[in-house]
Amino acid sequence: MRIGIMGAMAEEVSQLRPHLSEVTTEIRGMREYVSGQLLGKSVTLVFSRWGKVAASSTATTLVERYGVDCLVFTGVAGALDPSLNIGDIVVASRLVQHDMDASALPGIEKYEIPLLGVSRFNVDEPYVSSARRAAEAYLSEDLSRDISDEALKEFHISEPQVTSGMIASGDQFIADTAVAQALCRQLPGLKCVEMEGAAVAQVAYEHNIPCIVLRTISDKADHSAVVDFPKFVSNIACHFTCGSVLRLLALMDD
């Protein structure tokens, strides 16, 4: 198995890169694809950039050029489930493109991808379970020595939790309470919102390969969004990503 690992933030990719051995790099489409061995697995690591088009382009290159047969996407997200707190990790069990709406056409429902007949991309339970176990292991066994208490307290992170559920993607950074509430009404059970995961899931679906999406909650997707977003990514999220992905690879079969 060759695993494609995509990060929505450059900092997350850079945190993982030192763990690779037998490294080769290639620039394609303005992105650096880093291939090598990671915990005995063949991987290609890349910073996807932001948004659905950028993510789907990167995912397609991973499949077509590098022959990956599993996609792992990580990044941050805004919480829509009120039970979620900053620092919690959400593993996608379903993904939907919240800004896809071709329902003006006969026979097509809102959120449905035209010509695919799919509106929610489901993640197979074994992959959801493995990702949850990996994130839980990182938080319970590695977090205390990976990030200082001072850094965690700065973002009011005390006992981060792992959950799974629906993640919605769209080409918007949601920071408006009314918009967030509307999404929750339209998509019952929605956990969080981001800008790439469902697009990557569509590429995986079309190529018949698994896709795993893990998101660290950075804000509440409203006016209380984290003020120092770059600092959160550099000091918190990139560590959560690296630790969870390393734990996930250790659980995955060759």
Residue range 37-62, pLDDT digits in tens: 999 999 999 999 999 999 999 999 99
Residue range 200-239, pLDDT digits in tens: 999 999 999 999 999 999 988 666 655 688 899 999 999 9
Handedness of CA 106, 107, 109, 115 (dihedral sign): negative
Q: How many CB atoms lie within 10 A of CB 143?
A: 18
Identify the pLDDT of residue 224: 60
Residue range 152-169, pLDDT digits in tens: 999 999 999 999 999 999
Identify the pLDDT of residue 161: 97
Identify the pLDDT of residue 136: 98
Residue 99 or 223, more confident: 99
**DSSP-assigned states of every residue in 57-117:** HHHHHHHHTT--SEEEEEEEEEE-STT--TT-EEEEEEEEETT---TTSTT--TTPBTTTT
Task: Using a pLDDT cut of 90, give the percent of the chain over it.
Answer: 88
Does residue 66 have a pLDDT over 70? yes
Domain boundaries, the chain: 2-246
Average pLDDT of the residues of the chain: 94
Identify the pLDDT of residue 118: 96
Strands 190-194 and 70-79: antiparallel
Identify the pLDDT of residue 60: 98
What residues contact 163, with CB distance under 8 A and at least 6 apart? 81, 84, 88, 89, 90, 91, 191
What's the CATH number of domain 2-246, 3.40.640.10, 1.10.3210.10, 3.40.50.1580, 3.40.50.150?
3.40.50.1580
Q: Which residues are catalytic?
A: 12, 219
Residue (of 199, 176, 16) closest to 100 by Cα position:
199
Among 15-19, 61-65, 102-106, 226-230, the minimum mean pLDDT is found in 226-230
Contact 197, 73 (CB under 8 A): yes
pTM above 0.85, yes or no: yes
